[in-house]
Each structure stands twice: as structure tokens, then as C-alpha cells.
Amino acid sequence: MRFAFPKVYPILDSSVIPATGRSQYLRALGSGLAESGVTLLEYRNKSGSTAEILADASVLRSSMPGGQVKLILDDRADLVEQAQFDGVHVDAGDLSPAQARRLIGADRIVGTFGGSNDLLPGVLEAPADYLAIGPIFETRTKHTDRKPIGIDGVRRLRQQAGKDVVLSAAAGITLETAQRVLDAGATMVAVAEAIFRTADPAKEFARWKRALG
């Protein structure tokens, strides 16, 4: 699909959402992020029930206008339509990109894991709009047994992917390292903890956006 992928891709993990006042928190967060210029956001909830995921998704969708912000649901391609989200991210062990595409249709975004040290065999032929690569650095946000690939790894994967493939670099990226990751060939940097573990995530996103463009 045609979409101008941003340089900063916020990943909202459910672990940062308070149990008390959950809806109010998400409503304020979503509105603030939209006002700060977010155009793409992933909501990730690995342990919540379907009801919780849909409830969170409803608040995010209502506070982040569809014409301005593309919302991506982690894993649950089966809920994308009901949640009125704009796409899904599927990793190894989830649905394949082809299965996800059949579920959500041609007009929504499909993201998938593209590789670590090297691109996964056949991934360039998958019906995915972007490929996540990494981990770039050490991370506490998402469990992985893979070793960080660093800046050189980003450069190597860009060479393997060619110039037109959208690469989303993930894991352990800070504002101090983000520009080097982009310069090495990443299209965008996926950021979770560095934005959402701050006192004001919307303000922090705006700081990243000013710095990276």
C-alpha cells in the first residue's frame, strides 16, 4: 500500500498501561501522541485477553483519527477489522505474512520480522509492507535470544534488501543512536521504552521527531 513511513515508529507495549484508569490514560496518551505528530503506532499486548485488547484498541482508535494515524495491532490479525485498525505486525511463530494479508486485505499494512544477522530466506517475496530487523542493541522491552547486530548489521541488511524495502530497526535504540541507525540504512526506528517509559511520552516523541525529521 502507499504510505509514507515515518522515521520514528512508536511501539506501545501494554506493560506501560496502568491497571487503574486504563481508558483515561490511553485516551490522554492517544490524543497527545496525535497532536505531537505520530502517524504510525503499534499497540502490543502479548498477555491480555481479547476483550482487553479490543477495549484498549477502541480507546486508541477514538483518540487517534484514522485519517491521521495508522494503528498497527501486534499478532492479532483476526482482530484488526473489529478494532478498526490499519494493519498488523506478525513475527515468527505468528501467522505468516501471506495468512495475515488474506485476513486483513490488500489495503491494510502488514509488517513482519525480516531478519537479524541476515534477511530470512524468501522474506523479500512475502506480502509485507515493512520488515522489522534486529535486535540492533540490547533491549529489556521484548524478550529475544538473538544477539544485537549493531550499526554494521543494519548496513548489511540494507545491502541485502535493496534500496526500496522498508526496514524498521528495533531494540535498544535511543535518541543518541537513532540517527546512526537511520544513516546505516533503516527506514525507521521502532521505539518502545525510550518513549513510553518517560513522564510525558507525547512530549518525548515530539523531541525525537524534531531531532530526526
- List, in sequence order, every beta strand (DSSP E) within 116-170: 130-133, 167-170
Domain count, the chain: 1
The answer to whether residue 150 sits within a structural domain is yes
User: How many angstroms separate the Cα of 137 from the Cα of each of 20, 47, 67, 151, 196?
Assistant: 33, 24, 33, 9, 18
pLDDT lower than 50: segments of the chain:
none
Do the domain assignments include residue 66?
yes
Mean pLDDT of all residues in the chain? Answer: 95
Range(s) of the domain holding residue 37:
8-212
Say which CATH number the domain at 132 has.
3.20.20.70
Q: Is residue 122 part of a domain?
A: yes
pLDDT in tens, 134-184: 999 987 655 667 899 999 999 999 999 999 999 999 999 999 999 999 999
Residue at 89 is within a domain = yes
Q: What pLDDT is attached to residue 213? A: 84
Residue 191 pairs in a beta bridge with: 10
pTM: 0.96
Within a domain: residue 3? no
Residue 2 included in any domain: no
Residue recorded with cell 496525535: 34
Residue 100, in any domain of the structure = yes
